[in-house]
């Protein structure tokens, strides 16, 4: 049972969140949605407040959670009607080595760095890592990819991080530095 | 997207992300524990708090946390 002072504090927090989210989202959500976002944020703040170890102001932390809650829902609703194909097609990709001989980045000494990177994506990543990376490069929000892969944004970030670490090491093992690749791409564009 | 649809623009974003990749990174949830201190300092034009490199690194690589951070900073500036 909440004490009166607690329920007043929660009411005040909700009011501050509604005001903050209205200002921060700059027209991306209507007032009804913002009230829902604020309500969900209050629940998350109450659930996490005892374990909050951050040194920042509590109110700033609450607003940061509010932004996370709001943007997650807005991104979800933007992609609600998009087909699964964009994500699933990456998972159906064959595992054979992939050398793109037609690339404009190909040079006399083949395979080109572009081909090596594509080959690494095809061969050293797990299907889930590949799906995550390719869907993200397609601009699909993390929360949407996570929902469809049956995971959450945090685990998806770790999946993507593991993939990037592998690709970085793969390029080094192939004798290429990331800066080499970057220069070639800038030159070609 | 199929791998053969990976054009130079997308490949360029991936290369930039690989370039910025560190062996240890904050996840999106980890970031929430530190972002308030960092955002408050940015808004007040205070020196970057000691130990903020992982926060800056995550924001440089995670466009969604960056979008949320920018909205947070906008709100704090209004207050
Ligand atoms: Zn993030």
**What is the distance in A from the centroid of ligand 1 to the CA of B74?**
18
CATH 1.10.10.10 domain range(s) in chain A: 84-188
All residues of chain A having their beta carbon less than 8 Å from the beta carbon of residue B67 are 71
Q: What is the CATH code of the structural domain delimited by A4-78?
A: 1.10.1740
Q: What is the mean pLDDT of chain A?
A: 82
Write the residue in B2, B40, B78 that is nearest to A89 by C-beta: B2
Per the CB < 8 Å rule, is B1 touching A89?
yes
The per-residue pLDDT for A36 is 97
**What is the distance in A from the centroid of ligand 1 to the CA of B63?**
7
Query: What DSSP line would sit under chain A, residue for residue?
Result: ---HHHHHHHHHHHHHHHHHHHHHHTTSS-HHHHHHHHHHHHHHHHHHGGG----S-HHHHHHHHHHHHHHHHHHHHHTTTS-THHHHHHHT---S----TT-TT--SSSSPHHHHHHHHHHHTS-HHHHHHHHHHHTT--HHHHHHHHTS-HHHHHHHHHHHHHHHHHHHHHTT--HHHHHHHHHHH-
Q: How many domains does chain B have?
A: 1
Tell me whether residue B1 is in a domain: no
Question: pLDDT band at residue A3, thresholds of 50, 70 and 90?
Answer: low
- Average pLDDT of the segment spanning A72-89: 77
Structural domain that includes position B50: 24-77
| Residue of B7, B14, B34 best to disrupt the A interface, most CBs of A under 10 A | B14
Q: What is the percent of chain A with per-residue pLDDT over 90, rounded to a whole number?
A: 56
The per-residue pLDDT for A84 is 61
Query: What DSSP line would sit under A72-107, residue for residue?
Result: HHHHHHHTTTS-THHHHHHHT---S----TT-TT--
ipTM > 0.90 (yes/no) = yes
Written out in words, the top-level CATH class of the domain with range A84-188 is: mainly alpha
Tell me whether residue B8 is in a domain: no
How far is the C-alpha of A82 from the C-alpha of A80, rounded, in Å?
6
Tell me whether residue B10 is in a domain: no
Number of CB atoms found within 10 A of residue B64's CB: 18
How far is the C-alpha of A176 from the C-alpha of A119, rounded, in Å?
13
How far is the C-alpha of A121 from the C-alpha of A127, rounded, in Å?
10
Give residue-wise pLDDT tens across range A133-148: 999 998 999 999 999 9
Full-model pTM: 0.85
| Residue of B20, B57, B72, B77 best to disrupt the A interface, most CBs of A under 10 A | B72
Tell me whether residue B52 is in a domain: yes
**What is the distance in A from the centroid of ligand 1 to the CA of A152?**
12
If you count them, how many residues does chain B have? 79
CATH 1.10.1740 domain range(s) in chain A: 4-78
Give residue-wise pLDDT tens across range B7-63: 778 888 898 899 999 999 999 999 998 999 999 999 998 898 888 999 999 999 999
């Amino acid at each position: 049972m909440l004490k009166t002072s607690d329920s007043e504090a929660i009411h005040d927090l909700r009011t501050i969140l509604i005001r903050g989210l209205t200002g921060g989202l700059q027209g991306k959500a209507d007032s009804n949605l913002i009230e829902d976002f604020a309500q969900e944020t209050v629940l998350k703040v109450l659930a996490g407040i005892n374990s909050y170890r951050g040194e920042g102001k509590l109110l700033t932390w609450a607003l940061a959670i509010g932004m996370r809650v709001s943007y997650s829902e807005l991104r979800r609703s933007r992609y609600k009607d998009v087909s699964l194909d964009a994500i699933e097609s990456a998972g159906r990709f064959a595992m054979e080595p992939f050398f793109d001989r037609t690339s404009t980045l190909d040079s006399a000494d083949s395979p080109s760095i572009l081909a090596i990177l594509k080959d690494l994506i095809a061969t050293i990543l797990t299907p889930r890592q590949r799906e995550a990376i390719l869907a993200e490069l397609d601009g699909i929000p993390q929360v949407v990819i996570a929902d469809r892969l049956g995971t959450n944004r945090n685990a998806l970030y770790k999946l993507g991080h593991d993939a990037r670490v592998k690709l970085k090491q793969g390029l080094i093992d192939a004798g290429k530095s990331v800066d080499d690749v970057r220069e070639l791409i800038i030159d070609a564009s | 997207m199929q791998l053969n649809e990976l054009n130079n623009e997308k490949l360029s974003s991936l290369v930039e992300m690989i370039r910025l990749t560190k062996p240890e990174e904050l996840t999106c949830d980890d970031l929430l524990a530190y972002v308030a201190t960092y955002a408050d300092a940015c808004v007040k034009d205070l020196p970057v708090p000691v130990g903020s490199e992982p926060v800056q690194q995550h924001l440089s690589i995670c466009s969604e946390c960056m979008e949320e951070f920018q909205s947070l900073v906008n709100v704090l500036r209004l207050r």
